[in-house]
């Protein structure tokens, strides 16, 4: 997704956090989430704390439960 599409999505849902736009797939490579010959990425959520430390990883995203799981994890990190 492009920076512009991320910005639209963030604005639409009034997200209180930044979304990463990784058009060159540099971060995806570093985090090991590339698949299908490096053309696509796995849907993985990484929570990084305010100090830049990896707080939690959700390697499988179940859209029905995901937001609740993420919020619960964020609450526990505070």
> Which residue in 52, 12, 10, 59 sits closest to 33, CA to CA?
59
**Whole-number Cα distances in Å, 26 to 8, 12, 35, 43:** 22, 26, 13, 16
Domain housing 72: 43-78
The dihedrals phi and psi of 74, each to the nearest 5 degrees, come to: -60, -40
Q: What is the pLDDT of residues 54-67, one digit of tens each?
A: 989 999 888 788 88
Claim to verify: residue 28 and residue 53 sit in the same structural domain: no
pLDDT for the residue 66: 87
Claim to verify: residue 51 and residue 75 sit in the same structural domain: yes
Claim to verify: residue 33 and residue 57 sit in the same structural domain: no
**Whole-model pTM over 0.75:** no
User: How far apart, in whole angstroms, are the C-alpha atoms of residue 23 and residue 20?
Assistant: 9
pLDDT for the residue 64: 85
Higher pLDDT, 6 or 72: 72
Q: What is the pLDDT of residues 43-54, one digit of tens each?
A: 888 998 889 899
């Amino acid at each position: 997704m492009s920076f512009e599409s991320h910005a639209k999505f963030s604005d639409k849902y009034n997200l209180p956090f930044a979304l990463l736009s990784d058009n060159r797939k540099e971060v995806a490579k570093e985090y090991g989430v590339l698949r299908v010959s490096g053309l696509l990425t796995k849907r993985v959520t990484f929570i990084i704390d305010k100090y830049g430390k990896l707080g939690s990883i959700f390697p499988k995203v179940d859209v029905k439960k995901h937001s609740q799981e993420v919020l619960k994890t964020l609450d526990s990190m505070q």
